[in-house]
Amino acid sequence: MHVPFFSYPRVFTSSERELLEIIRQVGRRGAFIMQEDLRVFEENIAKFTGARFALGVGNATDALELLLSAAGISGGDEVIVCSHTLIATASAVQRLGARAVPVEVGRDSLMDPESAQAAVSSKTKAILPTQLNGRICDMDAIADIATKHGLVIVEDSAQALGATYLGKAAGTFGFGGCISFYPAKSLGSLGDGGVILCNDAQIHEILSMMRDHGRDPLTGEVKMWGRNSRLDNMQAAILNYRLRSFDEHISKRREVARLYHSILKSVKELTLPIGPDDDPERFDVFQNYEIQAGERDALKQYLTDHHIGSIIQWGGKALHQLRHLGFDASLPRTDAFMSRILLLPMNQFLTENEAVYVAQTVKEFYGYE
Ligand SMILES: *Cc1c(COP(=O)(O)O)cnc(C)c1O
């Protein structure tokens, strides 16, 4: 059996006929930029997440940069981020001339609120937690820190479309959040794409102008400096189609997580993510299945030898370990964590047989039956 970590062709081939038809229809209408499909998609995503507004942009990194900019983050400001995140979280901050301050991961593999609290300085303006792997971090503790120090909360919820905490969706807790439609994300487009989620009408209006050259969406009048970061109407049309099966895809991901959990929970060399049925306050969407593993590199090699794809997040380096970018924080807990993490295959295309094969092979590596 061969189980790739992710099959990019399947993003297309799994519904090739339907996608070609959408491309044909949109193409014949010449509806490429800021058309009806985008408007409908924004409405659908807002409805799905419970956000008041959703705004299609070029990608989730742009979404973060636009949100931070609209929140007034600028040169000299500090923004607290979790070190265990994609470089995009920090680069959105850096692009504004501000400084991303990485902090430790907690026991839930997400931003550790205590470490975030300790990193607050007189320059801190915002806190930017990552809802990584499709799970929402301790937003109560983060909100307390934000309230206490007058900080803006922006969520990197790029990986967490549909995840909830106490019924509230990722990206809707603070000033705003982002969602990514990168092809390997749980709702993937045929290229780059993203949305901004926000709840404030005035902020939504500003962001609507910022993403489109500073132009007023109704009159076209240029009212401010902007840029070009729009979600292609073609991608929006494709995403509208895909959104219809999204709940079913998330169920499949949670089913795979349940299988992994039931087979691997007895392996004492592993730390597993919290199982899909083990946290009544949260609905996790399992963008990834991230384990912590003893002898991680040998396990990865063993999986490769058994034709199973796996990935070490961020090429093995957390933010604070990226010395080329000038980070110099000492985060020993995240260092230890990074030496153990591994992503097992997790997507809606995995069959039950494949998931069992993956989990059994992991078990076999550690000498379990
Ligand atoms: C994918 C991702 C992003 C960036 O999304 P793009 O749409 O590729 O810009 C940001 N943060 C995290 C945690 C991601 O996984």
Query: What would the pLDDT profile of 259-277 be if each residue is shown by its tens digit?
Result: 999 999 999 999 999 999 9
Query: What would the pLDDT profile of 10-20 be if each residue is shown by its tens digit?
Result: 999 999 999 99
Would you say 209 and 225 are in contact if contact means Cβ atoms under 8 Å apart?
no
Would you state the structure tokens that stand for residue 347, as one six-digit string?
């997507």
Would you say 355 and 1 are in contact if contact means Cβ atoms under 8 Å apart?
no
Burial 258-293 (b: 16+ CB within 10 A, else e): ebbbebbeebebbbbbeebeeeeebbbbbbbbbbbb
DSSP conformation class of 3: B
How much is the pLDDT for 246?
98
pLDDT above 90: residue 369: no
Strands 282-283 and 341-344: unpaired
Task: Give the position, in ligand 1's atom list, of the atom nearest the Cα of 156.
Answer: 11
Per-chain mean pLDDT for the chain: 98
Pocket test for ligand 1, best of 59, 180, 231 (most atoms within 8 A of CB): 180
How far, in Å, CA of 44 to CA of 231, rounded? 14
For the chain, what is the total number of helices (H) and then of strands (E)?
Answer: 13, 13
Would you state the structure tokens that stand for residue 283, as one six-digit string?
């609905």
How much is the pLDDT for 143?
98
Pocket test for ligand 1, best of 156, 192, 211, 313 (most atoms within 8 A of CB): 156
Would you say 319 and 169 are in contact if contact means Cβ atoms under 8 Å apart?
no
pLDDT above 90: residue 189: yes
How far, in Å, CA of 267 to CA of 271, rounded? 8
Would you say 166 and 138 are in contact if contact means Cβ atoms under 8 Å apart?
no
Provide the terminal-to-terminal Cα distance of the chain, rounded to the nearest Å: 19
Mean pLDDT along residues 227-255: 98
Give the binding-site residues of ligand 1, using a 6 Å CB cut-off.
Answer: 59-61, 85-86, 88-89, 130, 132, 156, 158-159, 180, 182, 192, 194
Could you identify the residue written with the tokens 């993003």? 11
The length of the chain in residues reads 369
Burial 176-211 (b: 16+ CB within 10 A, else e): bbbbbbbbebbbbbbebbbbbbbbeeebbebbbbbb
d(CA 87, ligand 1 centre) in Å: 9
**Stated pTM of the model:** 0.98
How far, in Å, CA of 207 to CA of 231, rounded? 13
DSSP conformation class of 352: H
d(CA 59, ligand 1 centre) in Å: 8
Pocket test for ligand 1, best of 131, 136, 159 (most atoms within 8 A of CB): 159
How far, in Å, CA of 148 to CA of 116, rounded? 13
How much is the pLDDT for 126?
98
Residue nearest atom 5 of ligand 1, based on CA coordinates: 60
How far, in Å, CA of 181 to CA of 192, rounded? 6
Mean pLDDT along residues 25-30: 98
- Cα radius of gyration rounded to whole Å, the chain: 21
How much is the pLDDT for 48?
98
Coil vs helix vs strand at 78: strand
Task: Give the position, in ligand 1's atom list, of the atom nearest the Cα of 287.
Answer: 15
Could you identify the residue written with the tokens 């970018």? 325
Coil vs helix vs strand at 132: helix
Residue 49's pLDDT band, with cuts at 50, 70 and 90, is very high
Mean pLDDT along residues 193-218: 98
Percent with pLDDT over 90 in the chain: 99
d(CA 185, ligand 1 centre) in Å: 9
pLDDT above 90: residue 175: yes
pLDDT above 90: residue 60: yes
Would you say 134 and 163 are in contact if contact means Cβ atoms under 8 Å apart?
yes
How far, in Å, CA of 183 to CA of 190, rounded? 6
DSSP conformation class of 174: S
How much is the pLDDT for 68?
98
